[in-house]
Chain A
Amino acid sequence: MTPLQQYLALAGALFFIGAWGILARRNLIMIIMCVELMLNAINISLVAFSNYSPTGNGRGEVFVFVIFALAAAEAAIGLAVAIAMYRLREKLAVDELDEMKG
């Protein structure tokens, strides 16, 4: 296993732990935390590819900075939605929030 594959394996493992969390947990805040874990996995793979790319010009790191900013935006919006939902319904379990079911 080459070093690049080791980093990619770590990223894949982290990604699927996050995916399992999203599917298994029902709390909205918990789901947002697992999304952050998955974004971290993506960032690891981008930095690893940037480090081992034949041209080696660090463009992967620029992607990572963009993802950082968008992850912060996503967390802010998601947690605001969670707080608004809690204020409205006093619950955060995603399978109990079925007001829009037809």
Chain B
Amino acid sequence: MPQSTQIFFILLAFFTLFSALCVVLFRSLIYSALSMIGSFLGVAGIYILLHAELVAAAQVLIYVGAISVLVIFAIMLTRQRSGDISLFFHKQAWVALPPVIVAAIVVVAVLATAGYNATTEMQNPVDEEIAALLFNEYTFPFELVSLALLVAVMGAILLAKREKKE
């Protein structure tokens, strides 16, 4: 990795992880949602460092644009009692921390000892090749996913629709 890429990676990684920690630690749901947007933007930067510009653009469009707005709308529609928002840091958070840390240590140990010695960067192909892959070789999964998305959106409308008063 060249020096400049290394510096950008470290900056973006710290920004992403800091925002992700803020998501978990903020008391207010709306602050958590805003730091979630920051984390998504950091991940988009990571994609650009990995030569995946199409994925970065889709990340900004779908996560930053659509999913964050969806989450913020859901927070607005479910305005909660003040007691509910700060349901945080009881025993539960501290009981949850040790298993997660143990699992993280195991994963890091496996990563550090695994034989991923691919130092040469085989760059991700340009966007035209991704499009060709998506629409030639993987047409059927692509269409299947669009069908799943359609069904999910219809189900979401059905679930969230207000019941007719009899």
Interface residues of A (CB under 8 A from B): 1-10, 12-21, 23-27, 29-30, 32-34, 36-37, 40, 43-44, 47-48, 50-62, 64-66, 68-77, 79-84, 86-87, 91-93
Contacts and interface: CB of A to CB of B under 8 A. Distances in A.
Interface of B: 1, 9, 13, 16-17, 20-21, 23-24, 29, 32-33, 36, 39-40, 43, 46-47, 50-52, 54-55, 58-59, 62-63, 66-67, 70-71, 73-75, 77-78, 80, 84-85, 87-89, 92-93, 96-97, 99-101, 103-104, 107-108, 111-112, 114, 116-119, 121-125, 129-130, 133-134, 138, 141-142, 145-146, 148-149, 151-153, 155-157, 159-160, 162
A5 B112 contact: yes
B67 to A, nearest CB: 5
Contacts of A9: 108, 111
Contacts of B103: 16, 19
9 contacts: A2-B118, A50-B52, A58-B124, A60-B124, A61-B52, A70-B149, A75-B67, A77-B156, A92-B80
Contacts of A74: 152
A23 B92 contact: yes
Contact of B152 (A25, A30, A64, A73): A73
Nearest to B20: A17
A51 B52 CA distance: 8
Given A2-B119, A40-B40, A82-B78, A72 B66 contact: yes
The 6 closest A-B pairs by CB, nearest first: A56-B122, A23-B96, A73-B152, A24-B93, A80-B156, A80-B159
Contacts of B97: 20, 24
Contacts of B142: 65-66
B50 A47 contact: yes
B43 A51 contact: no
B32 A18 contact: no
A79 B130 contact: no
Contacts of A4: 116, 118
B24 A17 contact: yes
